[in-house]
Structure 1
Amino acid sequence: MMEKSTLQEMLKGFGSLKEVADGFQITAVQSLRIWGMMGLVILYKVFILPCQKNKKKQLFDDLGSLKNLTLTIPRNVQSKSKREGYFLSNEDLDFFEEKGYLPPFQVLSEHEAEQLKEELQKEFSCDFHGEIYLSEKIEDIEKRHDQWQIEGAGLYQALRIKSLRDLFRRPQIAERLASILGDEVMCWRSQMFHKFPGAGGTIWHQNATFRESGKYAKLQPTQKMDPAIIQLNAWVALTDCTEENGCLRLLPGSMTDARMDYLYSYSQDNKLFYLSLQPFSFSYMYTLIKIALYGTIFIKSVLLFRTAVELLGEDYFDKFDVVDVHMKAGECLIFSSLNMHASYPNTTKEDSRFSAVARCTPNHVKVAPSGVDIYSTAEGLVEYKLPDVPNFQVYGKDTYGYNKIIDD
């Protein structure tokens, strides 16, 4: 029997792009828009692309420069006296430099995890008492299409919910983060994830500065630092996480190759050029454009991953091994956002997976001020004003003054 490639292993639980596109409906008007966009791609591919050899060469030159990134964590971040707590040893730091994550560790008891989960679900059930940080327009669209979930509604809610802030400030988490990021660590965005029975998986992705589907990077370092530690996730399981209910998956060491992250941003800035580089057939291009225009954020991530693989080649991943991260309720996983990660679909009938995450960065990183951003909805791309929210300190004190920090 032929051995599975890394890519085949990564795509366990995911259907083809066509199956993804067939999973949501569009209107006749939206279909006409797709055909119009497809006409533009054809014209571009036939008449303009042949004249853009330099642009194509520049793209692949830029990608080549992102293949062998380094990650070096200063060993003088913390004093010897601090190492007696939960600060990382040199061996731990060596592991993180090589793998881009720390193995799960206990931070809450099972009872504490259950209590916090119930508190967060209760908050969501009453729409967080009207304190939603996405725009009302997006909320209305999501509710109209029965897609309003805690993943969107729960953005930044740790600013309101003290028990969440207290969780991420526990020394088991905070001191480990400080070992890697330095003596001033803040959370710039908190989130919650609730994967219901039957929910699909989240496709592989990586992120350094969190541009996402917006117009600019949300994290802007003011000091030289390796891309892999611009942002770390402290991901806390509030239920057991298994392959069946949708546990996280990692590609350890992949934070040294940022080509996928680069293509995510590049494809948004050069839509016609990027689409014209893809293999062409009418059915395939219709599928790509349908997802690009009307897929939600997680569905659009499938498109970006699949099309990036077309450009990078299927052997792009063969130097890495997939790790499925099984976790117990109350355990925390710290990992670089630039380390490629994904999650399985939830194939159970009644077992939900629930988690909370703090996205953390050093205080010398500027969080982009409020402005216009873009959100993917079932009715297309929607521009909205980024919430002008503060951050909260996870470890140490802010001496830079670049960002708003709540005083609590």
Structure 2
Amino acid sequence: MANAVQQTFTPTPDEVATFHQRGYLGPFKVYEEDEMRRLWRRERLRLMDRSSAVYDEGEAQAGNTNIANYDRHLDSAFLADHICRPEIVDRVTAVLGPDVLCWRTEFFPKYQGDEGTDWHQADTFAFASGRPQIVWPQEQKEFGGTITVWTAFTEAAEDTGCLQFIPGSHRTMHYDESKGMHYQPDKINHQNKDGVTRGFYGYDYRDLQKDPNWRPDEDQAVSMVMKPGEAILFWSTLMHASKPHVAPDKEMRMGFAGRYVPTCVDVYPGTEEVDEYGGRVSLEEYGAVLVAGNDTYTHNRKVTTTTKGHRFPVR
């Protein structure tokens, strides 16, 4: 019997060119809508069991904002397979090259009545902890940030808090992450010119602005309406935000973000713990995941299986 041909999801050269121009690609389908709804109903119950999670829940939930939902792909077989899905990895490697790590995942829930998330960009992810979490090599210093693949596990609509992007804004950083922000869980958030209330998980991202008088051009913003099972790929340096959840008759909006970098990037350099959003977690059991190609570098600690022994399927 002939070997089955492996299906690929590599974007066309025109799609890659459009990505470089706009800073994002998609939305594109990763799961069928009914399949995603079924999987999420099952997995959200399984994820309540944190006995094999790599971060201690008590430490992570020390503040009002929870960072215990970081990196659940390191104990969940479903999420481990998700970050390695060819629908995702083939698109990521078309941008980053053949050798790629997933260095972090995060859940982004938005419940009924939740405010919008403020406009922001991320390069080294030092804005909260004060320490760079990813560092590109000097010879590639024109690059920065991470590729984020944000998957809608539930509907992301205009009234449930969909993402918003300002196309082309990834080329210029308007924020200085080295300035740092002060965590204020009870901080009063602000409204934009259209009366939309925005915040940033207990921080004021405007504190990082290089020019305190600069404001994002929200007239250029586009909304990323997505069905369950669809995903969007974008540079973390792209100006992005999300709308508030104002639909009282709709379920919570749940997004799941995988963050990807080439293997040459240094992940958590000189860092043994993550301290942000009012919580602190030890990186003792942490490891980046090779999702495609090979890693000929030695500066990043990696894992090949989840804490329960499920192997990551390298592309």
1:136 corresponds to 2:58: yes
Q: Deviations over 1:178-226 (max 9, x none)?
A: 0100111110001112211111211111101111311310111225336
Q: State the match for 2:147 in structure 1.
A: 232
Q: State whether residues 59 and 280 of structure 2, in contact with CA within 8 Å, keep that contact through their aligned partners in structure 1.
A: no
Distance 1:337 1:227 in 2: 15
Q: 1:321 to 1:222 in 2, by over 3 A?
A: same
SS at 1:153 equivalent: coil
Larger mean CA deviation between 116-125 and 181-190 belongs to 116-125
Deviation, structure 1 residue 385: 4.2
SS at 1:224 equivalent: helix
Deviation, structure 1 residue 340: 0.9
Q: State the match for 2:214 in structure 1.
A: 313
Distance 1:406 1:250 in 2: 33
TM-score, with normalisation over the residues of structure 2? 0.81
1:102 corresponds to 2:25: yes
Q: Deviations over 1:117-174 (max 9, x none)?
A: 2233213433x226252563342x34xxxx465xx22211101112112122121111
Distance 1:221 1:252 in 2: 23
Q: State the match for 1:197 in structure 2.
A: 112
Q: State the match for 2:287 in structure 1.
A: 390
Distance 1:227 1:116 in 2: 40
Q: 1:321 corresponds to which letter in structure 2?
A: Q
Q: State whether residues 151 and 255 of structure 2, in contact with CA within 8 Å, keep that contact through their aligned partners in structure 1.
A: yes
Q: State the match for 1:88 in structure 2.
A: 11
Q: State the match for 2:226 in structure 1.
A: 327
1:241-390 equivalences under 5 Å are 241-260=156-175, 262=176, 264-268=177-181, 292-295=183-186, 298-301=200-203, 303-305=204-206, 308=209, 311-314=212-215, 317=217, 321-349=220-248, 350-369=250-269, 370-377=271-278, 385-390=282-287
SS at 2:102 equivalent: strand
Q: 1:368 corresponds to which letter in structure 2?
A: Y
SS at 1:313 equivalent: coil
The structure carrying a bigger helix percent of its residues is 1
Gap runs ≥5 in structure 1: 1-83, 269-290
% identical equivalent positions: 26
Q: State the match for 2:137 in structure 1.
A: 222
SS at 1:173 equivalent: helix
Deviation, structure 1 residue 230: 3.7
Distance 1:215 1:342 in 2: 22
Distance 2:206 2:142 in 1: 20
Deviation, structure 1 residue 344: 0.7
1:206 corresponds to 2:121: yes
Q: Deviations over 1:245-287 (max 9, x none)?
A: 0000011111111022x1x43245xxxxxxxxxxxxxxxxxxx
Distance 2:231 2:210 in 1: 31
Deviation, structure 1 residue 228: 5.4
Q: State the match for 2:303 in structure 1.
A: 406
Q: 1:196 to 1:132 in 2, by over 3 A?
A: farther
Q: 1:400 corresponds to which letter in structure 2?
A: Y
- Number of aligned residue pairs: 287
Q: Indicate which of 173, 183, 188 corresponds to 2:98.
A: 183
Deviation, structure 1 residue 372: 4.8
Higher radius of gyration, 1 or 2: 1
SS at 2:87 equivalent: helix
Distance 1:102 1:373 in 2: 30
Flag as ranges the 4+ runs of structure 1 deviating above 6 A. Answer: none
Distance 1:332 1:223 in 2: 31
Q: State whether residues 19 and 25 of structure 2, in contact with CA within 8 Å, keep that contact through their aligned partners in structure 1.
A: yes
RMSD: 2.8
